[in-house]
Amino acid sequence: MSNTGFIFQENLLIEMPEPGVSRQILGYNDTMMMVKINFEKGVKGILHRHPHTQATFVESGVFEFTIGEEKKIVKQGDACFMVSDILHGCECLETGALIDVFTPVREDFLPK
């Protein structure tokens, strides 16, 4: 299954994977997925790793990202890139939203 053409946010399922975090799958196919994740201030995205390559765009807010051994503050308009299997995570310093792109698709995010 995949999305094609236009995708409108108001028609998308909102998932709450943990307190203070909401997630919407914006689109995907077999090779790529785009996801919007909203964070409330103070929420921490635990350090984790996965086999997917990930690019993240900061739509709004301020976040402290850890990628490997490096920590940086990123804000609206900034982006970061995580290679496959690198340890990474973030802390939301000001309420905001991230746009994540994964390749290949994050099957663990797909509705069951």
Sign of CA dihedral 29, 11, 79, 39: negative
- Is the confidence at residue 43, as pLDDT, over 90? yes
Please state the CATH superfamily assignment of the domain spanning residues 14-107 in this structure. Jelly Rolls (2.60.120.10)
> Residue 71 CB: number of other CB atoms within 10 A?
12
State the pLDDT confidence band at 2, using cuts at 50, 70 and 90.
Answer: low
Map out the domains of the chain as residue ranges: 14-107
Interval 44-90: pLDDT, tens: 989 999 999 999 999 999 999 999 999 999 999 999 999 999 999 99
State the pLDDT confidence band at 99, using cuts at 50, 70 and 90.
Answer: very high
- Is the confidence at residue 8, as pLDDT, over 70? yes
Interval 23-32: pLDDT, tens: 999 999 989 9
